[in-house]
Structure 1
């Protein structure tokens, strides 16, 4: 598939065919493409928990279910996905990397960072996995874990304390899906979000 077509077709898919597993070689390809993402200082402060076994996927949904959240049919539909990839960032890998001699910093002071690149880079990797899924005619959705359920998720999978889950991808062959109500908002006008040369307010000449 041409890259332009991948971008055009990209969307969050929430309904999957439960009877079509993803071939192992394709799971490997999706993950390997994610590892091609850029990272500050080539720190690669990320890890990915890949869940394909039914028992592991059931454990994920059980650990992360938000009992106080709304009864969302989209979440119920996503449980059919044969693949879940949880993206986790490791801030300490970045603080350690930039305290090394070739980077010029002599300490691990987090205040030096204008943005949390450990989360940003991990998000880049997740996006590459998402786009790879689209390229392979698969559906995919990136979503966050309920904050209150993160400890239960850690316990369920033995995740070390230094790794923070920034989100998860469900991936699978598409089933008939519902159009998300959020899409009714439409794309924001280019003039509102793209600024050339200087920041321009809406309607400014």
Structure 2
């Protein structure tokens, strides 16, 4: 598939067919994620791969409040046979930039203009989303509710230095109701690109 087609076809899929995914495809998805940019080549990320039915079920049990998961969104998402949880490691970045070749001699987080550990892991996630489309499948990136992160950590033995930035369902697309958010339409270049000076968008 041409790259431009991959970009145009990428969208969040919230309903999946009851059909397994070839493990070799997931291997390629994760391999491509490793090519994401990484500040200082810190590579402070990790990916929890859940592609056994029992493990996927454990994920939903750990991340869903008791009595939840019966709405149409959850029903469609729970049919995905694969879940990948991308996690960032802030400490890896702080330690990398305290190395002799970087010149910082402390682990002061205030030196960072943005949390690059989360940004880089997000870039790796996007590479996974694009690879999924290139493979003819669908995916959805979504957040784990903050109040359920402790139970997720406990269920899967996640080390304290790793923080989940979200989760990605992967599977074969099934007919999906159009998301109400899409009715807003995609913003055009004239709305988001500012040439040389910030200017408010004008409407006739």
* TM-score bucket of the superposed structures, by smaller chain: over 0.9
Partner of 1:53: 52
- The alignment status of 1:5 with 2:9, answered yes or no, reads no
SS at match of 2:191: helix
Unmatched 5+ residue regions in structure 1?
A: none
Unmatched 5+ residue regions in structure 2?
A: none
SS at match of 2:166: strand
Partner of 2:148: 149
User: Could you tell me the TM-score, scaled by structure 1's length?
Assistant: 0.95
Deviation at 1:155, TM superposition (A): 0.2
Deviation at 1:179, TM superposition (A): 0.7
Deviation at 1:68, TM superposition (A): 8.2
Partner of 1:30: 29
Deviation at 1:74, TM superposition (A): 1.3
Contact 2:69 2:75 in 1 (8 A): no
Instruction: Report the Cα distance in structure 1 between the residues aligned to 2:104 and 2:133, rounded to whole angstroms.
Output: 40
Q: Closer, same or farther in 2 for the Cα pair 1:184/1:69, shift >3 Å?
A: farther
Partner of 2:124: 125
- The alignment status of 1:92 with 2:102, answered yes or no, reads no
SS at match of 2:174: coil
Deviation at 1:71, TM superposition (A): 5.5
Contact 2:90 2:117 in 1 (8 A): yes
Instruction: Report the Cα distance in structure 1 between the residues aligned to 2:180 and 2:131, rounded to whole angstroms.
Output: 25
Partner of 1:105: 104
Aligned pairs, number = 203
Partner of 2:76: 77
Instruction: Report the Cα distance in structure 1 between the residues aligned to 2:128 and 2:58, rounded to whole angstroms.
Output: 22
SS at match of 2:144: coil
RMSD: 1.5
User: Could you tell me the TM-score, scaled by structure 2's length?
Assistant: 0.96
